[in-house]
Every structure is written in structure tokens, then in C-alpha cells.
A and B are shown apart, each in its own frame.
Chain A
Amino acid sequence: MPATQEISENLIRENISRAISEVFQTMLGRKADLCVLTDQTNCWPPIPVDGQSNISQIVGTVGFLGDANGLIYLYLDVPFARIATGQMLGMTEQEIDEAGDEVINDAIGELTNMTVGSFKNGLSDAGFPCKLTIPTILRGSNFSIEPIAEVQRYIYKFQSAGQSIVTDILIKLGD
């Protein structure tokens, strides 16, 4: 069995780019392209790095366990999360308002589940079989998520018709 250390940044970048593009195109009919970042720690949103923004965010999280172990956080600001929910479920702004935050949380949880599923299926086919965990949602502003030691972190930013999506990938090192 290959150790998690053998998963290259290249494999991670390729898989997350493919996953984001596939999920956003299929479920929302939107293109989403990876931005070239010169300094990963200063990309916007996410809050995970500097914790300075007051913009309300919705963060979906799904983990993967097996020959590769880790977590992926998917960051969207609330206005974009509402747009994405509407596009995914065929709901109007008014219908989303009536349905409440629960429907947005569930939609972003599922969007994250599909993205991480697609990402980890790529890892599985590359020789790192693993399974998904159940999605969770974090909402708020001006917060940061700090990884513990022994974790490799990869942050990627995507643009989709003027809206930002950030993925924060944490992979545990070791077997």
C-alpha cells in the first residue's frame, strides 16, 4: 500500500480541479476555473488563513478515510451559496427565503460531498482507496480553521463567473 506521503501536490491539484469543474458544471451549469496563486496563504476568501474577514461564509466539510486520510473544506460566501442552492434545486430567491438556511446548508453539504467524492474517487483510482465521511457545515464570519501538526495543507482558489470558491485540503501524513 502506498503511504500518504507519496501523494504528490500535482495529483491533489489535478484531482481537486477536475472535481470542482465537474461538480459545478454538472450540478449548477457553471464553469469553475482554478486561479493561479502566487501565495496560497493570502488568497481570498478564505478565512482559514488570516481570520480577518467579516464576510459571512458557509463552509462544507467532508473527510476521506482509507489509504489516504484527510478533510476538505469548501468555502463559499453566503450570497454565492444562495445562488448555488437556487441553481441546484431550481428554486427562486423567494422560495429559498421561505425554506430557510437549512436548505442552503444541505445543498452546500451535498455540493461538498460530491466534490470530495469526485476528488477521492480520483485518489482511489490512483492507488489510494478510501471512503467518504458524512458532510458537516460551518457558518460564520471572522473565524479560522487551524490544522494540527503532521498535516499537509493545500489551498486552492477557483473562480466561477465572478464568484469565488476556495478549497482547503488537509491530508494526514503517515500510513
Chain B
Amino acid sequence: MRNKILTVDDSKTVRIIVRKAFKSFDCEILEAANGVEGLAIAAKEMPDLILLDVTMPVMDGVEMLTKIKSDPQLKGIPIMMLTAEGGKDNVLKVAKIGVRDYIVKPFKEDVLIEKAGRIIELKPLTDSKGKARSIFDPATLLVVEDKPAIVQQIQEGLKTSPWKVHGVNSQAEALDFCAKTPPDLIMISLSLPEEAAFALFRLIRTNVKTKYTPVFGLVVKTETGAQQQAQTVGFTTVITKPIDISELESKVAKAMNLDTSQRYFTIESGVLVMRVPENCSTSVTAEISTYLKPKLSEAVDAGHNKAVIDVHQLRSLHMGVIKLLMQAMQTCRELGVHFALVGNTHIIAECKGFEDTRTWAFFDTLEDAKASLTKVPAPAMASAGS
């Protein structure tokens, strides 16, 4: 459930700044302009945190605080003062009534977030939204590695992606980077001196801005002790060196909860094209399989009832791919989608060798397959793979 934060301040400016400060977190901001409004909203909404000013018309913050603390239903709500009323005597007086923290204006939004994050769970908005970001969206990846060749390898390997890879070589530089630009994902070499990777991991997890950021460990395959330690403390995953870039890319996409469906499914001139890539590993077939039904349903819903299943890039056939293609054809039949297959000579020859696949009819090019869908009667196409 989303956290509710009630800001009670007669200044609209402060309420706008509070709203702005929390906009990237999954929480609801409630507003009140004085103590009377604040009490009414607190009783109705039961917020998880109240940010309270002192000097306000109608009812000031000290009176509202006193009333909340004497109300059995409301007294458990944590309150953080956010006020220009500082001075030792004022702070002590208010602290005695019972507040969780005290921020004296002027204040930095970062400080407000950090202090609020110590009281309530602040989850970044992207973590809780149902709609995932796409594989084609830009993202910032931070690599904390003291070996420049590794950073370079990752940068080179991911250069065709929209992700920007930044390399730093120490814990201090990493923290500095995170403070300025919280990255979307962090990779840390587990072989940094003096177990710095684990100390850095702890600091990343205590910072509200990076608390939920995926963190990968980078380590050589034989360092099993470090791999186990990383898994125990909660690293998202461990990438072994030498780095397999396609594995890294796939894990990064998964960790960032990216929608990768556009890699495999596109709509071209009213036809849904499903592309099976050159290397179709178990994880790739599983990924395509997950998207299959939703993407076909989406296409039908949008008025497209033709599909091309394109395997011409595929290097070799294996049971995982055969099952995937059978599933794709079956789903097309269930949804009433006319389909055609595109293959290369090697795959077509391999298909002839299996009982289940020998009757499959392929076109040599995508254009031929698309053209066939406009010419060949639907029942004949639907039986192509049966």
C-alpha cells in the first residue's frame, strides 16, 4: 500500500517543494494549510508521516502536535517538524511533546527525503508501477571497478544499447556519483581491496535513493567464496568474468524490469512479426514464451489478424525452439490469427528431420511471407504447421 505523507504548512510554496521532493517515490502527498485542516485530514486519512510547520494561522503546529499526541487514535503517527522556528529552546520544547525529527528551514530536498526515509519505507516509483520501461529507454549503469579493461569491455559491449555506462574505481567515487545521479543499476567488482565491495553495498542499501537499485557483483568464476558472500548479503546477481555480454545485457534488462518484448515482436504494415534471434538460449525462449500470448492478443485487439514467425536468423534448432514455435502456432490458431513461417536453408533442413516439424512450410523472406498472407486463403495457412 502506498505511504501517505501529510504536509501541514500555510505556505503553498513549501507544500509544492514537498510534493516535488517526493515525486519520484511511491507515496501520496496530502496537504493542509493549518492545524485545523491538518487534524481533520490526519483523522480521515491516517497518514504514515506528518510534516508539520509551527507558525500558521488558525491553529499553529505546536497546538496541532499537542492535540495529536493526546488523541489515542492519532498519537502513533510519526511527526517531523519542518519549520523556520529553530533556536535551541524552541526545538527542545517541541521535542518534549514528541516528534521523530526536526528540520529547520531553509532545507534541501535531499535532507527531507533522507530523514523521511528513516521513518517510512520510501520506494522509488518505477519499482511499483505496473508498466515496465522498455529496452529502448536510456538508463545509467555505474561500474565500480579498479581494472579499467573491465569497464572498457562493458562499455564496448553495451555501446549499441541506449544505456550509458559510467566507470569509477573506488567506493568514494561511487558514493559521490550516486549522490549526484542515482544510477539505474550498479555493478561492483567483488575484488576491490579490503572488501570495499561489501562496505559499499551496505551504504547503497542504507541510502533511500539507491535502496532498491539493482546491484550486481563482478568476480572471476573461481572466486566462489566471494560469490556466496555476495548472494548472502543480497546482491541482485553475480556476473562472472570473463563477462558474457549477452548474458550481462539480459540480466541487466531483467533486473531493471525492462519490457524486452520489442526485441522479438513488432507490428509491420499491419502484420505482427515474431523474430527468433540467432542464439536462442533457454532464457530467450522462456522470455519470448512469456510475451507470446499477450503480444498476439494485443495485436488482435488492435485489429491485426496476421502474423509472421521469423526464424531465418536462428543458427540451430533444439527442443526449446521447437516447443516455442509450436506454442506460437497453437496460440495463433486459438486467436484466429493467420500465420506464415520464414526460415533459412539450414533450419528448414533440420525441420525435415523431426516428426513434429517435417510438415512445416517456410518462406525464404519476410516479404514473401507477408505477401502470402494476403493471397493464400486463411484455412490453408493455419494448417501450414499442423
Footprint of B on A, CB under 8 Å?
22-23, 26-27, 88-90, 102-103, 106-107, 109-110, 113-114, 116-118, 120-121, 124-125, 129, 131-135
Report chain A residues within 8 Å CB of B10.
Answer: 134
Q: Which segment of B24-32, B80-88, B227-235, B368-376 sits at the interface? A: B80-88
Contact of A113 among B90, B105, B107 (CB under 8 A): B105
Provide the bound-state CA to CA distance between A109 and B17, in Å: 14
The secondary-structure label for the interface of chain A is: helix
Report chain B residues within 8 Å CB of A90.
Answer: 20
User: In the bound complex, do residue A114 and residue B106 qualify as a contact, i.e. CB atoms below 8 Å apart?
Assistant: yes
User: What's the least CB distance linking A160 to chain B, in Å?
Assistant: 14
* Known contacts A88-B17, A90-B20, A131-B55; is-contact A118 B12 (Cβ 8 Å): no
* Known contacts A26-B106, A118-B84; is-contact A124 B11 (Cβ 8 Å): no
User: In the bound complex, do residue A113 and residue B11 qualify as a contact, i.e. CB atoms below 8 Å apart?
Assistant: yes
Indicate if B222 sits at the interface (CB-CB under 8 A): no
User: What's the least CB distance linking A107 to chain B, in Å?
Assistant: 5
User: In the bound complex, do residue B105 and residue A89 qualify as a contact, i.e. CB atoms below 8 Å apart?
Assistant: no
Indicate if B104 sits at the interface (CB-CB under 8 A): yes
The number of chain B residues touching the other chain, given as a range, is: 20 to 34
User: In the bound complex, do residue A88 and residue B90 qualify as a contact, i.e. CB atoms below 8 Å apart?
Assistant: no
Provide the bound-state CA to CA distance between A46 and B106, in Å: 24
User: In the bound complex, do residue A89 and residue B107 qualify as a contact, i.e. CB atoms below 8 Å apart?
Assistant: no
12 further contact pairs, Cβ within 8 A, besides A113-B84, A131-B90: A26-B107, A103-B13, A113-B105, A114-B84, A114-B105, A114-B106, A116-B84, A117-B105, A118-B84, A125-B87, A132-B55, A134-B55
User: What's the least CB distance linking A61 to chain B, in Å?
Assistant: 14
* Known contacts A106-B11, A114-B106, A132-B55; is-contact A89 B17 (Cβ 8 Å): yes
Indicate if B57 sits at the interface (CB-CB under 8 A): yes
Provide the bound-state CA to CA distance between A89 and B55, in Å: 21
Report chain A residues within 8 Å CB of B108.
Answer: 26
User: What's the least CB distance linking B150 to chain A, in Å?
Assistant: 36
- B residues 77-127 near A (Cβ < 8 Å) are 83-90, 104-108
User: In the bound complex, do residue B12 and residue A106 qualify as a contact, i.e. CB atoms below 8 Å apart?
Assistant: yes
